[in-house]
Amino acid sequence: MKISIIGGGYVGTVTGICLAEMNHEVTIVDIDRKKIDLINQKVPPIYEPGLKEILERHHGFIKATTDLMKAVKETEISFICVGTPSRDDGSIDLRYIESVSAQIGLAIKEKHEYHGVLVKSTVIPGTCDDVVTPLIARNSGKSPGIDFGAGSNPEFLREGRAVYDFHHPDRIVMGSEDPRILQTMRELYGKFDCPYVECQTKTAEMIKYVSNAFLAIKISYANEIGNMCKAMGIDSYDVFKGVGLDQRIGPLFFNAGLGFGGSCFPKDVKALKSLAESRGQMPLLLNAALIVNEQQPEKFISLLRRHGPIKGRKIGLLGLAFKPGTDDIREAKSIEVATSLLSEGADIVAYDPLAVDSFRTLFPGIHYAQTAGEAVEKSDVILIITEWPEFENLDYRGKTVIDGRRILKAKKTAGHYEGICW
Ligand code: UDX
């Protein structure tokens, strides 16, 4: 198929390049000229394992451009993959969705063939039906279900494993009231051996939020129980090993620790909470998941306090990215920990294999070590914030290590070792 991908961010780039690997002709559209040039030079604008190799191998199937109109006119389907940032009150800002929907409308005005529009951006239920479709209709003068159709096809890609996840989905969710759109998605994803969920558009939009919010609640539950276990001298990981064997519960996403960060979980839980409130409902569980998550860094720092004053202390922060395998620091727990330690006068030495440059833009004044070993050497106490594999076999030189992410091997060379929830 001829496919245009509107938005060359994380979701759009991975989706576009992986669809090209399946021999579709893909055009990635973005307003950022730098991204476009990079893709056209066979360099993905984001880092994701395996992505560069696919782009190099299938470059003949991928173009990138800033010309949305032309890209939409020359393709059969457009995927909307633009960002949906949070507003201050937690609700999502739809301005980019609105703008590209209007532009898609103008682009298909002159088109004689049917055009399909699939929304991949995470949007609150009702967005496709109430915002995207009317804007396309108004700007094109065309009729939904006749001249064009729209639907929701949410993504469930984890950063750092997005290419793998694209090819090994747990399920494909296809939401649309238009049979032609459903048929397009069946053809696109037919090769995947996984369950397909065909549903209403707004149901598909809801599935995405409910999945992410459930995982966030699961993590906060693990953290609340983990804090209790710690106080009672119980290893919460042993508890969740026993609990997770119940098939109804499952073992994954029970890693108690500093809490969840990243571009999705915090934003999506807040958006769902805001949606509930706008409908006059009290989102008790969603609220609780956010509160537990906000409190974990302070619980972690209280363990540090037991080992002496923070003021003037040399404290090593190991790991700044929101999780290993990425340079992404959006909503990373390292930000809360560093902010709190600095406010108490700590002298921080930070290290991360990928995320130092982005962290430096937020915290230009702290010292950054070139290696994990240097960070250990230059600090009195070490805090493990992200579970990078290289922290497993590090020599902790007999120092105090407080671990927020379960790097148990640190015990071997630490003078004193303790975990946040174990
Ligand atoms: C997530 C979802 O997994 C994905 O399906 C969705 O579409 C986008 O959001 P991602 O943000 O890449 O993906 O990260 P993920 O690996 O899910 O981890 C999110 C955060 O939760 C990280 O900060 C991680 O450290 C934390 N986490 C995860 C825990 O604290 N405990 C766990 O058991 C699992």
CATH number reported for the structural domain that contains residue 45 in this entry: 3.40.50.720
Question: Do residues 209 and 171 share a domain?
Answer: no
Q: Tell me, using a 6 A CB cutoff, whether residue 260 lines ligand 1.
A: yes
Helix 333-343 and helix 284-305: axis angle, to 10°? 50
Residue 158 has what DSSP assignment? Answer: P
Question: Do residues 144 and 243 share a domain?
Answer: no
What proportion of the chain, given as a percentage, has pLDDT over 90?
Answer: 98
- The residue range of the domain holding 91 is 2-197
Q: Tell me, using a 6 A CB cutoff, whether residue 388 lines ligand 1.
A: no
For residue 284, how far is its CA from the centre of ligand 1 (angstroms)? 21
**Whole-number Å distance between alpha carbons of 413 and 393:** 9
Q: Tell me, using a 6 A CB cutoff, whether residue 154 lines ligand 1.
A: no
For residue 68, how far is its CA from the centre of ligand 1 (angstroms)? 32
Q: Which of 143, 176, 197 is the last residue of a domain?
A: 197
Q: Which of 63, 65, 2, 62 is nearest to 30 (CA)?
A: 65
**pLDDT tens profile 297-308:** 999 999 999 999
**Structure confidence at residue 394 (pLDDT):** 98
Question: Do residues 282 and 311 share a domain?
Answer: yes
**pLDDT tens profile 203-235:** 999 999 999 999 999 999 999 999 999 999 999
Q: Which of 369, 370, 396 is nearest to 384 (CA)?
A: 396
For ligand 1, pick from 158, 166, 241, 388 the residue to mutate: most ligand atoms within 8 Å of CB: 158
Q: Tell me, using a 6 A CB cutoff, whether residue 254 lines ligand 1.
A: yes
Output the six-digit token pair for 375.
């960070």
For residue 5, how far is its CA from the centre of ligand 1 (angstroms)? 25
Of all protein residues, the one whose alpha carbon is nearest to atom 21 of ligand 1 is 260
**Structure confidence at residue 53 (pLDDT):** 98
Output the six-digit token pair for 272.
């769902």
Question: Do residues 49 and 134 share a domain?
Answer: yes
For residue 185, how far is its CA from the centre of ligand 1 (angstroms)? 26
pLDDT band at 47 (very low <50, low <70, confident <90, very high): confident
Question: Do residues 150 and 52 share a domain?
Answer: yes
**Structure confidence at residue 336 (pLDDT):** 98
Question: Do residues 344 and 391 share a domain?
Answer: yes
Question: Do residues 319 and 172 share a domain?
Answer: no
Q: Tell me, using a 6 A CB cutoff, whether residue 45 lines ligand 1.
A: no
**Structure confidence at residue 203 (pLDDT):** 98
Output phi, psi for 379, to 5 deg. Answer: -120, 160
For residue 159, how far is its CA from the centre of ligand 1 (angstroms)? 8
pLDDT band at 340 (very low <50, low <70, confident <90, very high): very high
Q: Give the number of other Cβ atoms within 10 Å of residue 398's Cβ.
A: 10
Helix, strand, coil % (nearest 5) of the chain? Answer: 45, 15, 40
- 78 bridge partner residues: 4, 117
**pLDDT tens profile 362-398:** 999 999 999 999 999 999 999 999 999 999 999 999 9
Amino acid of residue 99: S
User: What pTM does this model have?
Assistant: 0.96
Question: Do residues 152 and 227 share a domain?
Answer: no
Tell me the HSE value of 391 on the side-chain side, using a 13 A CA sphere.
29
Question: Do residues 238 and 304 share a domain?
Answer: yes
**Which residues 6+ apart lie within 8 Å of 246 measured at CB?**
none
CA dihedral 321, 14, 271, 338 (to 10 degrees): 10
Q: Are 237 and 270 in contact (CB under 8 A)?
A: no
Please give the span between the terminal C-alpha atoms of the chain, in angstroms, as a whole number.
52
Question: Do residues 210 and 191 share a domain?
Answer: no
For residue 109, how far is its CA from the centre of ligand 1 (angstroms)? 41
Q: Are strands 172-175 and 196-199 parallel, antiparallel or unpaired?
A: parallel
For ligand 1, pick from 48, 265, 385 the residue to mutate: most ligand atoms within 8 Å of CB: 265
Of all protein residues, the one whose alpha carbon is nearest to atom 26 of ligand 1 is 260
Q: Tell me, using a 6 A CB cutoff, whether residue 213 lines ligand 1.
A: no
Q: Which of 159, 176, 197 is the last residue of a domain?
A: 197
Question: Do residues 168 and 44 share a domain?
Answer: yes
Question: Do residues 246 and 186 share a domain?
Answer: no
Q: What is the mean pLDDT of the chain?
A: 97
**pLDDT tens profile 250-268:** 999 999 999 999 999 999 9
Q: Is the pLDDT of residue 108 over 90?
A: yes
Q: Which of 172, 197, 222 is the last residue of a domain?
A: 197
Positions annotated as catalytic residues are 264
Q: Name the residue with tokens 């064997």.
A: 245
Domain count, the chain: 2
Amino acid of residue 254: F
Q: Tell me, using a 6 A CB cutoff, whether residue 262 lines ligand 1.
A: yes
The angle at the Cα of 73, spanning 103 to 109, to the nearest 5 degrees, equals: 60
